[in-house]
Amino acid sequence: MVTSAHEGMHRIFQERPEILTPVFKVLGIALPEKAAAYVLATDVTETRPLARHVDTVLRVDPSDGEDFLLAIEAQERRDPKKAASWAYYIAYLQSKYGLPVLLLVVCRDRSTAKWAGGPFACGTRGWTAQETYPLVVGPDNLPAITDARTASEKPAMAAFSALAHADSPQGDAILDALGHALAEMDPLAARYFGQFLDAALGSTPAGDKWRSIVTFVNFFPGRGTVVEKAYLDGVAEGEAKGEARGVLAVLDVRGIPVSDEVRARITGCPDPGEVNGWLVRAGTVERAEDLFDDVPESHGEERDVPQT
């Protein structure tokens, strides 16, 4: 069964590929800081009705020009079937794309990580036809980022560290560091990492710990902290931008011209409530400028209804 933890352990490579270089450093493999990563299709199904899917596949184009594919598998327990599956993934991807392929297995459990390193051999009668040597990161070789400053500078790597060490003694300290680091982040980044870890850690002790941090210490409403204000400002700004697109779309459908000045005022307003008012009026105004006419004070307010 695919769990939220399983998804988080490999999806972070898709969404935050900046962790590739430090992860490769942990594994003793050189990878330049300047490396482009592109998400590829994870379906490796053949024409016959047998579905196969890699968790994540990236095409990595380092600045030194040695392009390769990186297949990433999140593994939570030993699975004897993986020896054949992983060998198949590597062979299929190399054949399809004509590029060398590396397999990275991400584990939270030490015994699983030790097993996942292989090698996994295919052969018989004293002859080995093929061997698979996965790269493995887990609690034993991935640094535990427990310093808030480091977590603030490298939030993606800190989040990945939190996932890998979720069941380790250092897990709480990593989450505490990330909680303090949220205050130093861009509002949208803080929102992303807050929600990402909430989903990825799920209903586990680590997930409960994370939710207690962001709820009661420094993230969600009711505490008046810097991060709370930044978070709410970021959410409001996103809502206002969405409403602004709606206003412009309605005016465009109705064939009402919009000057650059009016457009700038609509898209630049940070107040979603005000923009929502413009959206309501966009369906009836005759000119775009009429959106900004003063609204009667009674508009939108509850009024007493005379008793009969």
Q: 62: which DSSP letter?
A: E
Q: 218: which DSSP letter?
A: I
User: Crossing angle of helices 260-268/226-253, nearest 10°?
Assistant: 140
| Residue with the two structure tokens 């009016």 | 262
Indicate whether this model's pTM tops 0.75: no
Helices (runs of H) and strands (runs of E) counted in the chain: 12, 7
Do residues 19 and 13 lie in contact, with contact meaning Cβ atoms separated by under 8 Å? yes
- Give residue 305's pLDDT: 41
Torsion angle of the four alpha carbons 250, 253, 254, 256, in this order, in degrees rounded to the nearest 10? 80
Q: Report how far residue 95's alpha carbon sits from residue 225's, in angstroms, rounded to the nearest whole number.
A: 53
Q: Give the number of C-alpha atoms closer than 13 A to the C-alpha of residue 75, restricted to the C-beta side.
A: 32
Tell me the domains of the chain and their CATH numbers. Answer: 4-137 (3.40.1350), 148-220 (no CATH), 228-292 (no CATH)
DSSP lists the bridge partners of residue 265 as none
**Which H or E element spans position 141?**
none
With vertex at residue 267, the alpha carbon angle to CA 265 and CA 271, rounded to the nearest 5 degrees, is 85
- Give residue 4's pLDDT: 65
Q: 157: which DSSP letter?
A: H
DSSP lists the bridge partners of residue 58 as 39, 70
- Give residue 161's pLDDT: 92
Strands 56-62 and 68-74: antiparallel
Q: Which two tokens stand for residue 269?
A: 């307003």
- Give residue 157's pLDDT: 92
Q: How many CB atoms lie within 10 A of CB 146?
A: 19
Question: Helix, strand, coil: what percent of the chain each, to 5?
Answer: 50, 15, 35
- Give residue 71's pLDDT: 92
Return the SS3 of 156.
Answer: helix
Q: Which two tokens stand for residue 300?
A: 């939108």
- Give residue 106's pLDDT: 92
Do residues 71 and 103 lie in contact, with contact meaning Cβ atoms separated by under 8 Å? yes
Q: Which two tokens stand for residue 60?
A: 């990595």
Over its length of 308 residues, how does the chain's per-residue pLDDT go in tens digits?
A: 456 667 777 878 888 888 888 888 888 888 888 777 777 766 655 555 555 688 889 999 988 878 999 999 999 899 989 999 999 999 999 998 999 999 999 998 899 999 999 899 988 878 888 899 999 999 999 999 999 889 988 999 999 999 999 988 899 999 999 888 887 777 788 888 888 888 888 888 998 888 888 764 444 444 444 445 555 565 566 677 778 888 888 888 788 899 999 999 998 888 888 888 888 888 888 899 999 886 444 333 444 444 43
